[in-house]
Structure 1
Amino acid sequence: MNVRILPGVVAIGVGAVLVVAAFVPFVARSYRRRGELGPGHALLAATTLVYALGVVAYTLLPLPDVDPGFCTSRIAAAGAQLHPLQFLTDIRTDQVRTGVRGLLGNPAVQQVGFNVALFVPLGALLRHLGRRSVVVATLVGFAISLFIELTQLTGNWFLYPCPYRLFDVDDLIANTAGALVGALVAPVLQRVPGQRGVAAAPGAPRPVTTGRRLLGVLCDLLGLWLAALLVAVLVNALSLAVGGDFVSGTRKAGDPAAGVAWLGWLALFVALPMLGPGGTLGQRAVLLQPVLLDGVRPARTRLLLRSLAGTGGFLLLQNAGGGLAAIAVLWGLVSLVGIVRSREHRGLGGRWTGTVLVDRRSLVGHGVRADGDRVPGRVRR
């Protein structure tokens, strides 16, 4: 694979995994800090993560193998270029053809353009998401670029016996210029949809919408998937450490990864819904809490039944395999229709247990105290 493409592929791949892993905590944090989740804000946050990984990947990758002649073969290629604007001389030297096409095909021009473009997102994101000034964003760009150049000059901070990339003061200038350009054009990011300003304080209740309910369900699904993945990794690490075989994580009887993975389901859909005010992981992330129709906190047994009749039951049947998986599909579709079409966005769990999900911030002083104790009254809808 081309050395210019490889770091980008690595950044996107690793970034996608980290975005999925951080999705539930990010949703929970957004609802508590901003009061809601703006899709545009979430998109820019994910972009920031992938971009940061891209900068790291382009700084370090590809990592060379250290052989007996490692330093000898790199003495001429690595070291330090301390002459500002040396790239102008390099452009004249590398210029073969005339015209715009010849200029764009010049390797020295491409190198400078890439170094400027690499830091444009940094300046824009610092100005837009970080609320920093143009001056601060530019100085941060300079500092990060300097750190990168020093990393290259020191052979990844002396992890390698000698530098394998060039410290170039022109790269420092180009990166800083890119951060400045990004900070200046940052207002363009305001046009990304789904970033409307927060209309109310973070502690003010919000409506229970279809999107919010589905976001909670998505967090439940991701939470279980990540729990199962973590269990599989831990089981395999332990198995390989003691000289055992790799565990596939199938549903076969006696499969330790499959058996232990059910502990994640028990924790998320049996134990957690009965703790405190109730609710699954996803419902808690989006600040939703189940209550009876009269606003009273349900008994723990009803909270458990609600979980088992909802997403928890769907996942239980789906992972059971066989004919039960087909029932799970029907189960999920009926519940999904209820969430989307009903006025109170209730799925099967809510219908069968006589409960409804409300914004937990609306319950303080309105039927259920923040600690979940029963209080006379009704929930405001």
Structure 2
Amino acid sequence: MSDPGVSALLAFIGGTALAALLVVPYIAWSYRKRGRFGPGHAVLAFGMLVYALALWTYTLLPVPDTTPEWCARNAVRVPQLDPLRFIADFQEERIGSGLGATLRNPALQQVVFNVALFVPMGMFGRHMLHRGLPTVIAMGALTSLFIEFTQLTAVWGLFACPYRLFDVDDLIANTAGAAIGYALAPLLRVVPGQRVEAPPGEPRPVTTGRRLLGMAVDVVSVTLLGGLLSVAANALWIYGFGAVTAPQHLHWLLNYALPVGLLLLVVPLAGNGATFGQRVVLINPVGPDGGKPGIGRMLVRFAVGSGGYFTLDALGLGLPAVALLLVSAVAAGWTRGHRGLSGAAAGLRLVDTRAANARTSLVAEDRRPAPEESP
């Protein structure tokens, strides 16, 4: 067993990194699945992600240097296939009597750990995935079996020899832990921010939090896309052309021009006028006539909003860029209809996309020719 502190830290770091990559798709999914973004759901989803990585770190780490010499001395080649063998191990490793000695028994600690390791799976399986008891038990058993075979096969042949024991008692304890977790799942209901007040398709008000979330999605999406494009370009230049790094002007194009132009200009102009972040949180900007904003208004919004922030940042004007970002965030709460600084400058209003779609459908319905009456 690896150091629990190190395994937990690695799982948290890995979960945080994955969450940063998955946060935008998760927000988009949440708005379309539940009609809103619930912070309680997000906290539990993050916990489930960290837990999934913890299963890997706790069961496979630390990875030894499986040299032939190490394998000759330490390889675990014979699986433990005797059910409930841990009872005999408990008696063999028992030193002293009393509750304290019992709690310090390594055999008992191993069983308790293996049960506890799968309790979150049962809780998440019932509360987050809405699965019944048979399915949750099957999830626990199959996941445990996969882990045990991974250990038996030296991580499916990636290492020279098995360095962990295939133990049928671990399979039993893990499955029991999943069942116990199913019973404890109602405790997750106390996490605040999970309440869904209306059906997913029903429009909601455009609030300050929703505006700020859309702005944050724009900034995060542009940053992530620019970073991924730069990494891909560097890999191409290093491994394809043998250069140390990609040219500086290419970094500017990939870090700024392309992601900003695509997400903050092309997406609004080609769509309903919403930036990528606004589309994620189902916000629709409309002009004075209630329709899609004109090109001029969208360019003004771009210059005063996120586009202006990234332009100032690309020009090396970090302080003005941060100032614009802060003013925009404050204006999202103080302006009428939460249209923010850019919306006010461009003369735009913000509505829920579901309300805008419903209104468009009604207008289209009204414009249909009436059916001819039969004689």
1:358 match: secondary structure: strand
Q: Which structure is higher in helix share?
A: 2
Deviation, 1:92, is 2.2
168-177 vs 265-274, which moves further: 265-274
Aligned ranges for residues 150-169 of structure 1 at < 5 Å?
150-169=149-168
Inter-partner Cα distance in structure 2 for 1:255 and 1:305: 27
* Aligned residue in 2 for 1:325: 318
Inter-partner Cα distance in structure 2 for 1:131 and 1:315: 42
Q: Describe the superposition over 1:233-279 as per-residue Cα deviations: whole angstroms up to 9, x where unpaired.
A: 112211220221146xxxxx935323421221222222222121111
Q: Describe the superposition over 1:2-23 as per-residue Cα deviations: whole angstroms up to 9, x where unpaired.
A: 6433332222111101101101
The one-letter amino acid of 1:109's match is L
The answer on 1:240 being equivalent to 2:238 is: yes
2:79 match: secondary structure: strand
The one-letter amino acid of 2:255's match is A
Instruction: Judge conservation of contact 1:280–1:307 (CA < 8 Å) in 2.
Output: no
**TM-score, normalising length from structure 1?**
0.89
* Aligned residue in 2 for 1:378: none
25-34 vs 132-141, which moves further: 132-141
Deviation, 1:39, is 1.0
Aligned ranges for residues 39-188 of structure 1 at < 5 Å?
39-75=39-75, 77-188=76-187
The one-letter amino acid of 2:291's match is V
Inter-partner Cα distance in structure 2 for 1:127 and 1:36: 21
Deviation, 1:104, is 2.5
* Aligned residue in 2 for 1:250: none
Sequence identity (%): 45
Instruction: Judge conservation of contact 1:288–1:358 (CA < 8 Å) in 2.
Output: yes
Deviation, 1:126, is 0.4
* Aligned residue in 2 for 1:379: none
The one-letter amino acid of 2:215's match is V
The one-letter amino acid of 1:302's match is R
Aligned residues, how many?
A: 362
Structure 1: segments with no counterpart, 5+ residues: 248-252, 376-381
The answer on 1:314 being equivalent to 2:309 is: yes
Instruction: Judge conservation of contact 1:272–1:280 (CA < 8 Å) in 2.
Output: yes
Structure 2: segments with no counterpart, 5+ residues: 368-375
Q: Describe the superposition over 1:134-161 as per-residue Cα deviations: whole angstroms up to 9, x where unpaired.
A: 2321221111111111111122223334
* Aligned residue in 2 for 1:211: 209
Inter-partner Cα distance in structure 2 for 1:314 and 1:371: 37
CA 1:308–1:6: 2 relative to 1, 3 Å? same
Calculate the aligned-residue CA RMSD, in Å: 2.2
The one-letter amino acid of 1:147's match is F
Deviation, 1:282, is 0.8
1:96 match: secondary structure: coil
The one-letter amino acid of 1:281's match is F
Aligned ranges for residues 278-293 of structure 1 at < 5 Å?
278-293=273-288
Instruction: Judge conservation of contact 2:335–2:341 (CA < 8 Å) in 1.
Output: no
* Aligned residue in 1 for 2:334: 341
Inter-partner Cα distance in structure 1 for 2:184 and 2:198: 29
Instruction: Judge conservation of contact 1:334–1:347 (CA < 8 Å) in 2.
Output: no
Q: Describe the superposition over 1:322-346 as per-residue Cα deviations: whole angstroms up to 9, x where unpaired.
A: xx33222332222222111233112
Inter-partner Cα distance in structure 1 for 2:137 and 2:231: 42
* Aligned residue in 2 for 1:27: 27
1:289 match: secondary structure: strand
Inter-partner Cα distance in structure 2 for 1:153 and 1:97: 34
CA 1:266–1:143: 2 relative to 1, 3 Å? same
CA 1:70–1:255: 2 relative to 1, 3 Å? farther
Q: Describe the superposition over 1:87-120 as per-residue Cα deviations: whole angstroms up to 9, x where unpaired.
A: 1222222222433332222222221111111100
139-148 vs 92-101, which moves further: 92-101
Inter-partner Cα distance in structure 2 for 1:297 and 1:270: 14
The one-letter amino acid of 2:347's match is G
CA 1:370–1:265: 2 relative to 1, 3 Å? farther
